[in-house]
Each structure stands twice: as structure tokens, then as C-alpha cells.
Structure 1
Amino acid sequence: MLQFGDLALYFSLPTGSGDTFHLADLRGQPVVLYFYPKDDTPGCTAEACAFRDQYEDFLALEAQVVGISSDSETSHQKFAQKHRLPFPLLADAGGRVRKLYEVPKAFLGLLPGRVTFVLDAVGKIVYIFNSMTGATDHVSKAKEVLRQLAS
């Protein structure tokens, strides 16, 4: 997997709203990229809603939140609308970006992994959190790192 201090690899992916997201467009501000297994599953819903509920905190830290899974744009659109998610969900069909970021599979290689990357304003990876079981821990850990960056 990518390591602390590596520069983030830039990519473009479709969003659930039909736009194309370009990571390079966020250069100059911190970014939380969170890879998750599947829309509307219990852990992924808890994680997405935790990011939603604390989204204003991320904005106050001048950071953007972006979710990525292999689900379709339509699935992302329904998931985002159902849970009122204010941040983009990216459709990584075939797992190209997941592979680019070397996000490992979980549970004997059967499920896509859950990994969060925090990028600083220049695109350097300053934190990586890999945990399938602590879905909402991804949110608190990312906020903690962003607070440290801001101080």
C-alpha cells in the first residue's frame, strides 16, 4: 500500500451526480479519501453517516471528504440521496483507483477493504487508516489528523 509521505496519485472518476471528479482539482486543500466496500451495507452506512454528521467539522478544517467504492453511479446517487450525503461518492468500476492506491481486500480476499487516506494541501499522504471493523473510527481519526495539520 502507499505509505506516509508519498504523493497522492491523481485520478478522475464519475460521481453519483453524473459529474466527473478530478482529484487534481482539490490541490491546495486537505482531502480525506475514504475507500469503502459497498453502498447501503451496515458498516458503510454508519461510516458515510458519520462523515455526514461531522461534515461541517471537516469544512471548518478546510478539508474535502470523498468516498470511493466500486458501486455504480446509480447506486451512489441512491445511497447519497437516501442518507443526505453532502460529499461526492465516486464510482470506481473495476476497482482501478482502489488498485492504484493498493487498498487491500479483506476477509480472505472476498471483500474490498476499508481504508482512509488523509492528504495535505500539497497532496502528500499524511495518514492512512486501514480497518474493516472500526467504520466510524475512520471519521474521528481523519479529523484528529486534520486538526494537527491545522495547528
Structure 2
Amino acid sequence: MMGLAAGDRAPLIALTDQNGTERRSDSLGGKALVLFFYPKDDTPGCTMEACAFRDSYADLQGLGAEVWGVSGDDAASHQRFAQRHNLPYPLLVDRGNGLRKAFGVPGVLGLLPGRVTYVIDGEGVIRHVFNNLLDGPAHRREAIAALQRLQGS
């Protein structure tokens, strides 16, 4: 299956986060969304990526965006990961990887879940897709650049 691309409409997101709060993309009130899929809580690359988004969270919010992380880990794992690294944004629980499949996030070698970030505008249209398993912090830079382009348009 081909993954969703820039210009595609994002599927509805309706998952609970690490605290059991339901997060729905149709309740963002026109805000942009940086949605990043990552392989696994508390692995080195994922921790670097999550902390990069944490360190730029105020900048991302200043660009009119919410940030949500997504992996197949359970709520307890997400809670430990968020607390350990002071993550200020929700981590969505995607048990069974239904949302990952809906977006068509590719796996790596059929073993690892991929690392892909989507920047979705306030109308629910994907404006930028960045797929890079090895450079977690690059996802933050890509998201900020995409949001800056959105604001300029």
C-alpha cells in the first residue's frame, strides 16, 4: 500500500493518549497538526525525536500547530516515556497499528515500524510528509519549515 502524500486528505484521527484522553483531529478547531509516527517508546532514536519536538513545542504552537506522537505502545509505556522526558504533548495509543495503516506508514525491512511525520493543515489536508528512520531530530526541522511555508501561503 502506498502511504498518504502531500495533497491527500488525512483520515480521521480518534485515539486515546497516555492519560486516557480521547484525541480527535476533528476537534482541533482549524489548527494545524504535526503528527509523528515513531517506532517505540524509550529507544534512542525515538527519544531524540520526541525530545526535539519537546524542545521546539512552544515554537510549533506559535506556528499554530498541535503536536501528537503515535506508536503501537500501550498507555502505560507512553506515560512512562512522557514523564521520563517531560513531553508536553499527547502520545496516542495505536494498538494494532490501525492509524499507522490508515496513513500507510511504511515499515522497515518488514520488521520495524517506520518513522514518518505528517504536517496536516487546519482543513485536514496533508501538506508535508517526511520519512526518515535514522534522523529523528530532522523531523522537527522539517515540521517547522512546513508550518512556516503554510503561514506564508
Superposed pair shares fold, TM > 0.5:
yes
Native 8 Å contact 1:65 1:87 kept in 2: yes
What per-residue deviation string (whole Å, max 9, x for no partner) do you get for residues 109-138 of structure 1? 100000000011111000000110111100
Map of 2:121 onto structure 1: 120
The alignment partner of 2:23 has SS state of: strand
Aligned with 1:85 (options 77, 84, 87): 87
Cα distance between partner residues in 1 of 2:31 and 2:17:
20
Matches within 5 A, 1:40-59: 40-59=42-61
Match of 2:110? 109
Q: TM-score, normalised by structure 2?
A: 0.96
**Match of 2:133, SS?**
coil
Q: Deviations over 1:65-96 (max 9, x none)?
A: 00000000010011001100000000100100
Q: What is the correspondence of 1:5-84 to structure 2 with a 5 Å cutoff?
A: 5-84=7-86
User: Which residue identity does 2:16 align to in structure 1?
Assistant: P
Find the aligned partners of 2:80 and 2:133 in 1 and give their Cα distance.
23
**4+ residue segments displaced more than 2 Å:** none
Q: Percent identical across equivalent pairs?
A: 49
Report the counterpart of residue 134 of structure 1 in structure 2. Answer: 135
Residue of structure 1 equivalent to 2:5: 3
Show CA shifts across 1:6-52 (max 9, x none): 11100211110111111111140110000000000000000000000
- Counterparts of 1:27 and 1:123, CA distance in 2: 11
Give the count of matched residue pairs. 150
Contact 1:105/1:113 (8 A) holds in 2 = yes
The corresponding residue for 1:99 is 101
2:21 and 2:6 map into 1 onto residues whose CA distance is 30
TM-score between both structures, scaled by the size of structure 1: 0.97
Long gaps (5+) in structure 1:
none
Q: Which runs of 5+ in 2 are unaligned?
A: none
What's the secondary structure of 1:121's corresponding residue? coil
